């Protein structure tokens, strides 16, 4: 009897202990546990699944996908992208270049305010771009090398002075640069070290109200948000829930615990979900491409015939059909993909998979027993599937490719040091061919992994960058793409068709190209609504 009492006391103590240990429980307003569950969806809450936490709430520093999804809803950009990749107004209403291309002017909306009531003005934009330039923040810093200084013409108008004509400047800052509140960020001694982890002052369609790391991020709509089609975002509350394992995330969607999966699903998972009547799959084009890059500084890869031999030893169609399960399109071996209608060149032809031609080219180059290493990120489910296919097809041409599937950080480090023969990877977003080509193929370019040094190509890219409109840039950029194709400075394998899944209880999402925008971009979430 005494023992039973003791056991009961022990059990009670364990439960009480567990309860006492419980971290503070949130208690936000109504709605369901997570997604819409079995009931019909209401516009009260939309729950979005993601595979990672927000790492940094400072939009100028954070560089993960979840960082972008959350901070994009908090910090406006000058422009946004439509379904075709075209720039459309957001914070900016008009933009133009001067005739000499050395001055860019932007006019702003006058109805945007920060969440602390202060207006969003030209001062904020100037502060943001100057900070990016001064502290050299990642991608944006690399894209504004022509930027000299900015002048505030009025609270809603800015003039950017450029050191050289650059028709990609507005395109780049419009899309890539989130605007931060000067009056908040300037108080930080170093913006790079500013965590921005509480008391957020934002101006997007949603404001962040609660953070439970490892679990969820709760955002409430801003009742008056001019850029939303109806002036107010449709959904009252957006919740990002974190599922580090994509399989669990998919189960949560199937169970109704979440309404949307923000990240792109691997092709095999997408195929398995197609028959589920409760799930709608949306296909969005990638703005990037998957490719093989050959290190032109290493022998015998400095010989174009060897690079061509390698290009003819890849079975492109098999990769798209088998590894990507059909969720990929050809780009005709061109860096101007169909996702770029302003620049796409239909005359380009994909390298034929022809092992005899490959052998012949190697013979002409006097190369025998060719053996090369190929690095790739082993955690990338697509590349992990097609890397062995590249190896096997090359073997038919008598080329040995040694696969080096690496842990992501090692892969990035090796790529950055150009320590490889063949680099297998993919670009996530190549949204502006003149600017992208400058980074990827110009001598000394930031992401010139193949270490291309070709004065003719540099000149063509420069012409493209100086042009102030896509129509003007198209000629030299198409010429540049042809040169890249002939010289095999890049071997584009495919453009992926991304699969995004959401519950059929929701509708009216506005998909945009690239995983970074997906269907969780500000414009899409501002107009999404429960299905009738």
Partner 1 sequence: MRLKFIGVRLLRGLLTLWFAVTVTFFLVRLLPGDPVLAVADPNMTEELRAKLLADFGLDQPLMVQYLDYLRQLVQGNLGMSFRQSLPVTEVLMERLPWTLILTMSAMVATVVIGIPLGVLAATKARGWADRLIQIGGITAQSLFVPSVGIFLLYTLGVLLGWFPIGGAIDPDATGFAATLSMLHHLVLPCLSLVLIQLGSYVLTMRSTLMEALGDDYVALAKAKGVRPSAVVWKHAVRNALLPTTTIAGIQLGMLFGGAVLTETIYAYPGIGRAIYEAVGQMDFPVLQGAFVLLAAAVVAANLLTDIAYGFLDPRVRTA
**Site size for partner 1, by CB under 8 A?**
69
* C-alpha distances in Å from residue 531, one per residue of 249, 509, 526: 22, 11, 15
Q: Is 175 in the site for partner 1 (CB under 8 A)?
A: no
Q: Is 9 in the site for partner 1 (CB under 8 A)?
A: no
User: Binding string, 138-157, against partner 1, x = CB under 8 A?
Assistant: xx-xx---------------
Stretch that binds partner 1, among 135-143, 286-294, 334-342, 354-362 (CB under 8 A): 135-143
Q: Which of 136, 224, 321, 349 binds partner 1 (CB under 8 A)?
A: 136
208, 81 Cβ separation under 8 angstroms:
no
Q: Is 277 in the site for partner 1 (CB under 8 A)?
A: no
Q: Which of 25, 277, 347, 368 binds partner 1 (CB under 8 A)?
A: 25
Q: Extract the tokens encoding 71.
A: 């901070």
Q: Is 176 in the site for partner 1 (CB under 8 A)?
A: no
Stretch that binds partner 1, among 133-141, 154-162, 221-229, 429-437 (CB under 8 A): 133-141
* Per-residue DSSP letter, 191: G
Burial annotation 326-363 (CB, 10 A radius, 16+ → b, else e): ebbbbbbbbbbbebbebbbbeebebbebebebbbebbe
In angstroms, what is the minimal distance from the CB of 492 to partner 1?
A: 20
Beta-strand ranges (E) seen in 181-254 are: 206-212, 216-221, 237-242
Stretch that binds partner 1, among 11-19, 171-179, 295-303, 459-467 (CB under 8 A): 11-19
Beta-strand ranges (E) seen in 378-490 are: 400-406, 422-427
Tokens 């369901």 belong to: 32
Site for partner 1 in 401-420 (CB under 8 A): 406-410, 412-413, 415-416
Q: Is the peptide bond before 300 cis (omega within 30 degrees of 0)?
A: yes
User: Binding string, 240-269, against partner 1, x = CB under 8 A?
Assistant: -xxxxx-xxx-xx-xx-x------------
Q: Which of 86, 149, 193, 363 binds partner 1 (CB under 8 A)?
A: 193
Cβ neighbourhood burial of 245 (10 Å; 0-12, 13-18, 19+): exposed
Q: List, in order, residues 6 or more apart from 24 with CB less than 8 Å away.
A: none
Give the nearer residue to partner 1 in terms of CB position, either 136 or 363.
136
Integer Cα distance of 400 and 398 in angstroms: 7
427, 288 Cβ separation under 8 angstroms:
yes
Q: Is 213 in the site for partner 1 (CB under 8 A)?
A: yes
In angstroms, what is the minimal distance from the CB of 51 to partner 1?
A: 9
Q: Is 291 in the site for partner 1 (CB under 8 A)?
A: no
Stretch that binds partner 1, among 56-64, 271-279, 334-342, 359-367 (CB under 8 A): 56-64
Q: Taking the alpha carbons of 526, 36, 33, 264 in that order, is the dihedral positive or negative?
A: negative
* Greatest CA separation for the chain: 95
C-alpha Rg value of the chain to the nearest Å: 25
Give the nearer residue to partner 1 in terms of CB position, either 40 or 55.
55
Question: Residue 289: in which H helix or E strand, if any?
Answer: strand 289-294
Which residues of this protein are in contact with partner 1, per CB under 8 A? 14-15, 17-19, 21-23, 25-34, 52-53, 55-56, 58, 61, 63, 135-139, 141-142, 192-195, 197, 212-216, 218, 239, 241-245, 247-249, 251-252, 254-255, 257, 406-410, 412-413, 415-416, 439, 446-447
């Amino acid at each position: 009897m005494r023992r039973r009492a003791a056991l009961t006391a022990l059990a009670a103590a364990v439960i009480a202990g567990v309860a006492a240990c419980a971290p503070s429980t949130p208690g936000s307003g109504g709605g369901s546990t997570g997604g819409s569950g079995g009931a019909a969806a209401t516009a009260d809450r939309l729950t979005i699944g993601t595979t990672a936490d927000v790492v940094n709430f400072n939009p100028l520093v954070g560089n993960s996908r979840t960082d972008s999804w959350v901070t994009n809803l908090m910090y406006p950009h000058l422009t946004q992208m439509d379904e075709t990749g075209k720039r459309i107004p957001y914070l900016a209403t008009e933009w133009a270049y001067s005739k000499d291309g050395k001055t860019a002017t932007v006019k702003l909306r006058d109805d945007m305010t920060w969440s602390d009531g202060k207006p969003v003005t030209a001062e904020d934009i100037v502060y943001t771009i100057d900070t990016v330039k001064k502290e050299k923040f990642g991608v944006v810093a690399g894209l504004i090398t022509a930027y000299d200084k900015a002048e505030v013409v009025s609270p809603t108008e800015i003039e950017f002075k450029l050191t050289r004509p650059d028709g990609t400047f507005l395109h780049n800052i419009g899309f890539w640069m989130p605007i931060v509140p000067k009056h908040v960020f300037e108080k930080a001694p170093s913006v790079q070290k500013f965590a921005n982890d509480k008391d957020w002052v934002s101006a997007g369609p949603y404001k962040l109200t609660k953070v439970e790391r490892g679990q969820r991020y709760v955002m409430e709509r801003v009742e008056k948000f001019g850029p939303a089609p109806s002036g107010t975002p449709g959904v009252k509350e957006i919740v990002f829930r974190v599922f580090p394992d994509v399989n669990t995330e998919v189960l949560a969607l199937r169970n109704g615990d979440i309404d949307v999966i923000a990240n792109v699903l691997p092709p095999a998972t997408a195929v398995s979900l197609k028959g589920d009547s409760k799930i709608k799959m949306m296909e969005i084009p990638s703005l990037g491409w998957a490719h093989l890059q050959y290190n032109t500084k290493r022998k015998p890869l400095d010989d174009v015939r060897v690079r061509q031999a390698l290009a003819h030893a890849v079975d492109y169609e098999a990769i798209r059909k088998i590894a990507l399960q059909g969720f990929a399109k050809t780009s005709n071996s061109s860096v101007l993909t169909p996702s770029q209608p302003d620049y796409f060149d239909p005359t380009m032809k994909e390298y034929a998979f022809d092992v005899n031609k490959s052998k012949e080219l190697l013979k002409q180059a006097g190369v025998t027993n060719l053996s090369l290493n190929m690095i790739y990120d082993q955690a990338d489910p697509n590349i992990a599937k097609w890397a062995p296919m590249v190896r096997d097809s090359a073997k038919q041409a008598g080329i040995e490719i040694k696969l080096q599937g690496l842990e992501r950080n090692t892969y990035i480090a090796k790529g950055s040091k150009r320590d490889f023969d063949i680099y297998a990877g993919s670009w996530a977003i190549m949204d502006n061919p003149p600017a992208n080509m400058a980074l990827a193929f110009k001598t000394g370019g930031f992401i010139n992994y193949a270490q291309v040094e070709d004065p003719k190509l540099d000149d063509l890219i420069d012409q493209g960058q100086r042009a102030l409109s896509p129509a003007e840039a198209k000629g030299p950029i198409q010429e540049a793409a042809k040169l890249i194709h002939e010289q095999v400075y890049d071997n584009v394998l495919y453009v992926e068709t991304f699969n995004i899944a959401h519950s059929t209880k929701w509708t009216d999402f506005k998909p945009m190209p690239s995983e970074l925008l997906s269907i969780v971009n500000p414009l899409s979430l501002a107009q999404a609504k429960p299905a009738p």
